Chain A
């Protein structure tokens, strides 16, 4: 089911001034996989994702996407290559309509047929977005905004989609819905990297996972293995 490495990260370092958020981590995401990044607040998960897409500078290490070295590429160069991030806190454009948000998601796609296919896929996955397409994104509920954030990211036809805390601030029932949709993305040839606090949910959809603590990877394995290991609990309780 899983293919060649799509994203390989070696010795990634992220610094904010004197604070080192990520301390030389290595990991890979293979084509077709869903990979979860777990860990407590401040473990370096979001910093890792933000560094991958160029939103925060990489202080050391290399990031390869397919055959290309993308370590120091600007964020706007990545969507055309097929790598994008649905950021933490959804961050939909509140003053734009749902339709305009999705249109912006496809900004980098020049081919009209590919754009049409993306519209069809997103409206198919999230019928509510089609229903609400004229509405301002700011007027949507939290769950709908998360669907829009994921839909918007899908509009560029990504090979690899990174999701940062898709369950954050959502009601439990909605979280279940969102994760069902995430699991369904497998059928659309999208590889996924998910940062998530909701460990149970994340391990349910993921194939593999990495556990971070203090900016390092402290455990790695299949979802099955991680569910059984006590390293996970240790990472959350800060016993490292």
Chain B
């Protein structure tokens, strides 16, 4: 029983990180129709910011907001430099552009920083654990779950109460009509990228705090998983992205914990098999977006 509780905490922590990343992908996709594969590099940028802050002896309390800010600024710059010129182009053009951005950044990290994995100095308390009832839980897991919940509440409030957030929902549904109300395309799209950067930055801090290292390809695997989560939930649907992230987290952690030893090497195929099975019954994802076919700017 303790093991189940323990693994559930792990699944929530991992699933929460996937959910934040998938949400970042979904926010941009819902508005622009772009699947941003360079989302992972936003994570990597946040990771390197943490690393350099550690080297410079900056306190963790300061370096975390700095890392998140770096990811947000990078996301907005990415949109301005790479994606604005191809706005309105076909989904394929934008997808290829995002691959190019991703690869250029990876090569820059390899050449300007290091091709190898770098250690990130983390405060001691993150690797400690707390005892709740009969179970021992790592502080980093508790922090991950708390941060995920806080981000989801923040985003929900932003999208339902703030003028800009409502405008983003309106634009995701019908961009042309939104523009007729005076909602500027640039504002909404830059806002979507800033939010995706914020989410990638938070996810990066959580990711790095489990591993204490950063490398040029750090963002690739989690964002691939987040992409699967977004598809699983229903591409372009924000609630779907969150649900997909958590489901994927649970599938991975439970399989790793409860699959018999002999089957462990088939863990990933079995996990993806479950994903395919879900999509077989719900081809548009668990919580499909109502506006998948809407015209994007």
Contact = CB atoms under 8 A, between A and B. Distances in A.
Is B a genuine binding partner of A?
Answer: yes
Interface of A: 53, 55, 74-80, 84-85, 87, 91, 93-96, 100-101, 103-105, 107-108, 138, 152-153, 155-156
Contacts of B177: 87, 91, 93
Contact-size category for B:
10 to 19
Interface string B68-88: 000000000000000000000
B181 A104 contact: yes
A96 B184 contact: no
A40 to B, nearest CB: 24
B170 A75 contact: no
A104 B170 contact: yes
B182 A156 contact: yes
Interface stretch (B11-19, B90-98, B161-169, B198-206): B161-169
B181 A156 contact: yes
**Which residue, of B169, B174, B176, B184, has the highest number of chain A Cβ atoms within 10 A?**
B176
Contacts of B180: 53, 55, 75-76, 78-79, 84-85, 87, 153
B41 interface: no
A202 B252 CA distance: 62
**Which residue, of B167, B174, B177, has the highest number of chain A Cβ atoms within 10 A?**
B177
A145 B180 CA distance: 17
Contacts of A77: 182
A104 B166 contact: yes
**Which residue, of B177, B178, B181, has the highest number of chain A Cβ atoms within 10 A?**
B181
Interface string B148-188: 00000000000000010011011001101111111111000
A101 B181 CA distance: 10
A108 B182 contact: yes
**Which residue, of B176, B177, B180, has the highest number of chain A Cβ atoms within 10 A?**
B180
A199 B52 CA distance: 71
B290 interface: yes
16 contacts: A55-B176, A75-B179, A76-B179, A76-B183, A77-B182, A84-B180, A93-B173, A93-B177, A93-B178, A94-B290, A95-B291, A100-B170, A104-B183, A105-B181, A107-B163, A107-B182
B26 to A, nearest CB: 14
